[in-house]
Each structure stands twice: as structure tokens, then as C-alpha cells.
Amino acid sequence: MQSSYEQQLANLQSQHAIVSRQLEQLTNILNTHFTSQISAIQSVQQPAPVPPPISGFVGATPRPGGGVATLISRQEHSETPSYAASSPSQTPTVTSLRDTYDKVEIKIIPSSVPNQPPTVVPSRLDSVDEVWHEYRYGRDGNPSLESVEVRWGPRWRRDYKVQRWFNKRKIIVDKIMQYIADGVDEQAAMNELQVMRKSRTLNWLSRELESHRKETKKQWKAAREAAIANKQAMLGSDAMPANLA
């Protein structure tokens, strides 16, 4: 009985010794692995040593396998002026809206077919004066647009682009005519619109005048409706007066 117990104890001691040796070997392996990993990480984090510059030169670039490329002497480097120092300062040029396109005079080409309206090539002008003179008196040897309109009516502007161009110009012309009808001198009327326009485009002026005209019509319509309502209230009748219908 005792011998059997001693045999089991001996076996356990032998197994314990084997396990202890295995644990020691595993510990050594892990320590070696972690040590190598830490060394590798530290070597990556450290900056690479900078080689000393070659005496008398700056900007030297080492080539793979030895040698130096693109050498510039210190004297040449110090004497070479920079672009910022040598370039004069430039002030940007401000271009007005009127300079964004080239000026083009109108072209009125008579038709070769009898009783047919002329072909009109729209113009691109710079000022209110030019728009007015183009319509009333004619420019660049062409007849006035007013005479073309009187002779042919809307037949000469059936093209959509020509019609749209004419409508914009006519808004400016109508405003000048309104000033003249109110007793304002022709040149003073043109000056008034030019002051209103400032440095903006003629298209802007046309849109602005159209907006004012619509607002005036709206106010006139509201005033007319108010006058009709007051008139009906005074007469005590629901029927619209004949003179305001």
C-alpha cells in the first residue's frame, strides 16, 4: 500500500517538473518576443539621423547608392533673388459691367424680295444716349428703328431674339418719351436715366424700368378700384358708373 502511494507521488512530482520546465521555456520565448517588438517600435519612432551638409553647398540631395545631386553653392544661393522680391506688386484692374462685351452697331439689311421687311441684326451699345439715337435718328448709316417700326410694324421682329432685344430697348425709349412728354429736355431725360443706371448694364436698366412700370400700373389699378368703390358708395348704387366703366 505504501509503495503504491510512493509511486503515485513520484509520478506527480515528475509531471510537475515537466510542466515547470515547459512554463519556463514558454516564459523565455514570450520575453524574447516582446523585447524584440519593443525594440522595433522604438527604432521606428526615433527620427532618422540627418547627414551633415557638404561644406560650401546647400540643398544637396543624396542619391541611392552614393553621390549627391543638384548641388547649389552657398554664394549662388544667397545671390539668387526670390520671385517675390523681384516681381513688382500688381493691382488688379476693376472692369465695369459695360466692358464685359464688345460694342456692336446695329445692322439693318434691306430684303431682296419686294414688300418684305429688312433683316435686323441687334446691336450691343454702351449708353442710354446711343440707345435713344439708334431708335430716333439711326446710327452708323442705318435708318432709325422708329422708321422701321412705322413702315413694317412687328413684321421685321418676328425672330424671338430680335423681339426680345427690341422689347428691352423700347422700355428705355418709352421712358425717355415719357420725360419729354412731361416737358423734360431730350438730353436731360437721357442724363436722368444714365444717372439711374450708373455703371450697370443697359439690360439692368431695362429690367428696373419695367419693374417700376409694373408697380405704377398696380398702384393706378388700385387707385381706380378705390375711386369706383367710393363713387358707388356716394351714388348708393351697386351698378358701376358709365364714365368709370
Which of 69-78, 120-129, 149-158 comes out lowest in average pLDDT?
Answer: 69-78
Average pLDDT over residues 61-72: 45
Average pLDDT over residues 105-133: 95
Give the residue extent of every domain in the chain: 107-231
Q: pTM, whole model, 2 decimals?
A: 0.54
Alpha-carbon 14 to chain mean position: 87
C-alpha dihedral sign at 135, 141, 142, 147: positive
Average pLDDT over residues 196-214: 94
pLDDT of residue 24: 79
pLDDT of residue 41: 54
pLDDT of residue 93: 35
| pLDDT tens sequence across 9-34 | 777 778 877 877 777 777 778 777 66
pLDDT of residue 239: 53
Angle between helices 160-181 and 186-197 (to 10 degrees): 120
Q: How far apart are CA 189 and CA 85, in angstroms?
A: 53
